[in-house]
Chain A
Amino acid sequence: MEVLKIATAGSVDDGKSTLIGRILYDTKSLTSDKLEAIENTSKKRGYDYLDFSLATDGLVAEREQGITIDVAHIYFSTDKKSYIIADTPGHVEYTRNMVTGASTSQAAIILIDARKGVIEQTHRHFFINNLLRVKEIVVAINKMDLVDFSEERYNEIKADFEQLMAKRDYEDQKITFVPVSALRGDNVVHRSENTPWYQGETLLEHLEGLDLAAVSNVGTPRFPVQYVIRPKTDDHHDFRGFAGKVYGGELSVGDEVVALPSQTRSKIKEIYFHDKKYRTASRRSSVTITLEDEINLSRGDMLVKAGDLPTIDKQFTATISWMDTDKLVPGKKYVVQHGVNKVLAKVNTINHKIHPDYSGIEENVDGLAMNDIAQVTFKLNKPIFYDKFKNHRTNGSFILIDTQSNNTVGAGFIA
């Protein structure tokens, strides 16, 4: 069975948690004890319906304020697929959570309240999913029950959203619209009798039909060395294996490879997964590779196929999403973690701030605050081996770590 990871985006009160709760309920994924807890609390609060948002809002503060304040992960499966939903809050202050959720997702559900239509928040949600290059977008136009399941209203919102789509720079992204009522269950899992004018699939039917290979971002193979395995036991005295995860493409025994940064050439001798040898390691498999020649490789180095080298440079420009309460300022040093490689970096210039709602850029910026998105140039203390984010989602992204607090303070996408 395949795994599909989905991020959700919606404004406060758009009914995101309710939608997820509804999916869980209609796919019979809620266990009887959880359902009982939801029934009891709904009754206690005097609701005449089941408040499915209670299934996902896990923290005390969230239950008290009735909002979602952090990324929560929800799991369910059908006969066809396993799903992981990263439930990310839509409130304007929480851009960082949305970026985080989208970074690990192949699909996104953007919620729109049918009464409010496309609002500034919607622009942001779409922008972030563009920036992170999430390939599959489902626009769920929710609360259709509150606009009398009006086809006209649905088409109006769809047309507004299509105007927004013209602004993206990611042509491969696929967008699908579904009219739903999460609260009443229309077109979420089951088809609705209230929307005879809608011939498309329900939200879940659409997700079930997605081809996982088609929604994955594929690039060229990159193998960052995570850990060197040297057992030094009698049985494996000379064993020297490079442990890591294969990204972008696949690697096979006999492939001619180049080790970075030394640019030494060798050939792949063996590929191990646990104690078994394989001919080919597929994308995203965690394997151990041995080479024909004894070359010096340690954590943070990279194996790539000969003739297919990434950019090797001590400077790069990237779009970054700032996630810390302390400001990012030019001249300050941060640790850039690029995959498993860490280098010290200095903010050279903040070229411009990007309004995450497609309303343009702002120049002459002297610092970045939490949730700002900007184009920044960094200088590094040693070269890294990168691809552009649009060509390689893994080898084109990095995180920024504050050298004092050690917190992850930003994420970057190399231009």
Chain B
Amino acid sequence: MFDTEIETKNMELEERQLTSTSHVNALENEAIYILREVASQFERPVLLFSGGKDSITLVRLAQKAFWPAKIPFPLMHIDTGHNFPETIEFRDRLVEELGLELIVRKVQDSIDQGKVKEESGRYSSRNSLQTTTLLDAIEEFKFDACIGGARRDEEKARAKERIFSVRDDFGQWDEKNQRPELFDMLNGQIELGQNVRVFPISNWTELDVWSYIKEEGIEIPSIYFAHKRKVFLRDGLIWSHSEYVYQEDDEEVLERMVRFRTVGDMSCTAAVFSNATDINAVVQEIKDSTISERGARIDDKRSEAAMEKRKQQGYF
């Protein structure tokens, strides 16, 4: 882990030698270890599932960690209501196939309860409103550990996040008072009311995730592959044309081949032009890419410290 005597997995099959030497295997061993620590150290863990590639990867890792037993925690989706329909279809199919428990809590309900107000205007999004819904759900189910698919390479503030990240009663992240993490040891001791955000794929890069999806043959929602979509251009980003996304009259709708590198809800995720229609092409595209993954996240563009601020307030 962190103890980087990370070494590639060279276990032998009974009949034949397993020849995989990819370092993704070392990361896989680390993630499985972390998931097992969660199941051991906490009473009510939950896996935060967005339907994106990172949380789908987490589900695969959890399957491996606990086989032949079922994954010993439920999945929870904080639903903004502004989803790509492909993601929701995918989510429901996955849950059914694996016989998992799925909890859905809706941002719309938080709005209806008057706890948060819908943003308006050009850059309106329900992304930051998710925090309230998430914190309410944690309280409702008394979750003590929330497993998330965030990675340190995504963003500068995330680079300082721990594997086990303690949040107070208000879900807040105190970045100056984080527990040191030494060797492989994870300290999940908390007080009542606190919870821990757990990031098993902290040390994976975007390319690691894609390589893993490819090697494992993991199914992902179709929007990750190049497809024809109605879009419009603003601030150098490609926005989806949708009832959920604010659009000026003079912002012309175009039909283009695009795909998504990261999937939040429709109002905060920009597309990239792409012809990568299968996993091999996607992996190659990531290798050749000169723009970072979150370069297409509208929510991060708000300011240089945007992510850090949201995290302090209890964001994923």
Contacts and interface: CB of A to CB of B under 8 A. Distances in A.
Nearest to A224: B184
A60 B3 CA distance: 28
A73 B203 contact: yes
Q: Contact residue range for chain B?
A: 35 or more
A299 B39 CA distance: 11
Interface in B177-211: 178-185, 187, 189-191, 202-203, 205, 207
B145 interface: no
Interface residues of A, number: 87
Interface string B2-29: 1111111111111000100111001111
A385 B4 CA distance: 23
Nearest to B164: A408
Interface stretch (A27-35, A139-147, A357-365): A27-35
Contacts of B3: 103-104, 284, 393-394
Interface stretch (B45-53, B82-90, B153-161): B153-161
Given A32-B290, A273-B11, A73 B152 contact: yes
B123 interface: no
Contacts of A57: 156
B292 A33 contact: yes
A325 B79 CA distance: 41
A274 B185 CA distance: 23
Contact of B11 (A212, A271, A337): A271
Contacts of B5: 106, 216-217, 283-284, 393
A235 B68 contact: yes
Chain A interface main SS type? mixed
B165 to A, nearest CB: 12
B36 interface: yes
A103 B183 contact: yes
B185 A339 contact: yes
Contacts of A105: 4
A408 B187 CA distance: 7
A279 B69 contact: no
A411 B182 contact: yes
Given A97-B180, A280-B12, A226 B40 contact: yes
Contacts of A340: 37, 40, 185
B32 interface: yes
Interface of B: 1-14, 18, 21-23, 26-30, 32-33, 36-37, 39-40, 63-70, 152-153, 156-157, 159-160, 175-176, 178-185, 187, 189-191, 202-203, 205, 207, 289-292, 295, 304-305, 308
13 contacts: A32-B290, A34-B292, A59-B160, A216-B7, A217-B5, A231-B70, A233-B69, A243-B66, A271-B11, A283-B7, A284-B3, A394-B183, A399-B185
